[in-house]
Amino acid sequence: MDFAKHFPASTWVFRTLTGRWARRVYLAALILLLSMPVISRARNAYRAREFKAVLSGLEKVKIDQTTEAELLGLVPRLTRSQPYKDSNQAVEAFYWVEFSNSHDLWRAWAWSRLYDYYHRDLERVEKAAPLLGAGFLGFGAGVSVRNGKVSNIGYRVGTLWPGMSDLLFVRSVHGRWQKSPSPFWVRSVDDQNLRFRVSVFPPKENVTVEWSPDAPAELLSHLYQLDLSCVWSLHGCIDGREIAPQLWRDAERIKAAARERLTGSDPCPDRILADRIRYFPDADVLWLEAVKSQEKEGTSEGEVPHEVDTDYKLLEVIRGISHSSGNIHIEDFTTIPSPYGGILKNPISPHRMPGERVLFFSNPYFESCRIVPATRSALAAVRTAPAVRKFPEDEYFRGL
């Protein structure tokens, strides 16, 4: 049977859809579809290169020294906000730069289909998106300027999608303070080096760094030693350790030093106490004398085996304020729970003999060394250490 004679319309459609020009269109579409992930990775590589140029400029910026004019010559592609006056009548301005693929059409198209196909299974989307070059990638940096000089700088690297925790977040602070009456927590590992605090948060090994202008130059150089090769790899950027391996090693080194200190012969050295005064301008330090002490069973099963209640007589408010002019009741533990690594032994026993004099640190809440013997050198350390000024950008929970 002559198919073309009996079904001319179907024959025409078939020949049109399988003809030479149709095959060329199909091939072009396939090449375009296969090339989009490559193009997406190439664009990410370009963004990473531009961001590295920004970091190279930020590395030359000096807190409280670099002028606004010098900043613009050092760091490319900055956008300036409208200047304003803060509560102290200081003129502040903010500069920022951001490189992101959040508005790329290919990323949005591929992401929406992945998310729909996997019925909102985020784990599968997270694995599939980088293979297609559709994972979110964002670089950002910001600089605060006060009265014509740089007062604060920071940057971030984020992946997967906007709004999630950054894989790497770095910012400078003079010190830490807050308006809220509820004190924030200072971990023992942070106490180890308040000039350069590195935190690593599982499961993504997200890295967060807060550094002070007087931190060692060697550590400051690590802030800009990033490996961004993952932005064009098939698996994408997985965690902060991959992006900032040197900072991750710094975190491990500081953690090991903190554990060695807490288990050594001098767990609460004077330098730790002085740095608390220097970098936490709101810290309260009370000089107390023990009146009586008693031990009781802890309230947290399996976590805090013993609790010690001690009544103290207030001798002096060295720093901050005290809400009592008479006896002060303080509960302390023979062991303390650490939210970042099990149980840490309290390096200073909470048992106090009547007449024993101590220093009590609060606001913020210190994970260890809250109560230490009031030696002559410890008293001198907390009395003479200068506290940093309280700047608006250094307020706790306030970011760039």
Residues 362 and 296 occupy one common structural domain? yes
**Which amino acid, one-letter code, is at 40?**
S
CA-to-CA distance for 77 and 129, rounded, in angstroms? 29
Q: Cα dist. 260→12, 265, 278, 378, 394 in Å? A: 82, 9, 23, 20, 30
Question: Could you list the residue range(s) of the whole structural domain that residue 296 is in?
Answer: 270-394
> Do 294 and 372 belong to one domain?
yes
Q: 23: pLDDT confidence band, cut at 50, 70 and 90?
A: low
- Structural domain contains residue 7: no
Q: Please give the pLDDT value at position 323.
A: 59
Position 340 scores a pLDDT of: 44
Where is the domain boundary, 241, 260, 279?
Answer: 260
Residue that is last in its domain, among 260, 293, 314: 260
Q: Could you tell me which residue, 367 or 97, shows the higher pLDDT?
A: 97
In whole angstroms, what is the distance from residue 235 CA to residue 146 CA? Answer: 41
Q: Between 358 and 163, whose confidence is greater? A: 358
| pLDDT attached to residue 339 | 45
In the predicted structure, residue 230 carries a pLDDT above the cut 90: no
Count structural domains, the chain: 2
Say yes or no: 117 and 228 in one domain: yes
Scanning the chain, the segments in alpha helix (DSSP H) are 3-6, 8-18, 20-58, 68-74, 105-117, 122-131, 188-192, 217-222, 240-243, 245-262, 270-279, 376-384
Q: Are strands 371-373 and 327-333 parallel, antiparallel or unpaired?
A: unpaired
Task: Tell me if 86 is assigned to some domain.
Answer: yes
For residues 38 and 179, membership in a common domain is answered with yes
User: CA dihedral defined by 105, 106, 108, 112, rounded to 10 degrees?
Assistant: 140
* 71 closest CA partner among 95, 91, 90: 95
> Could you tell me if 51 and 99 are in contact, meaning their C-beta atoms sit under 8 angstroms apart?
yes
Q: Average pLDDT, stretch 239-245?
A: 89
Looking at residue 326, what is its pLDDT? 65
| 3-class secondary-structure state, position 63 | coil
* Claim to verify: residue 325 and residue 233 sit in the same structural domain: no
Q: Flag whether the pTM goes above 0.85.
A: no
Residues 173 and 91 in one domain: yes
Same structural domain for residues 288 and 171? no
In the predicted structure, residue 146 carries a pLDDT above the cut 70: yes
pLDDT digits (tens, 9 = 90+) for 24-60: 665 666 665 566 677 777 788 888 899 999 999 999 9
Residue-wise pLDDT for 330-342, tens only, equals 776 655 555 445 4
Highest mean pLDDT among 31-35, 221-225, 324-328: 221-225
- Mean pLDDT for the chain overall: 80
Which two three-digit tokens encode residue 299?
A: 């309230």
**Residues 245, 275 share a domain:** no
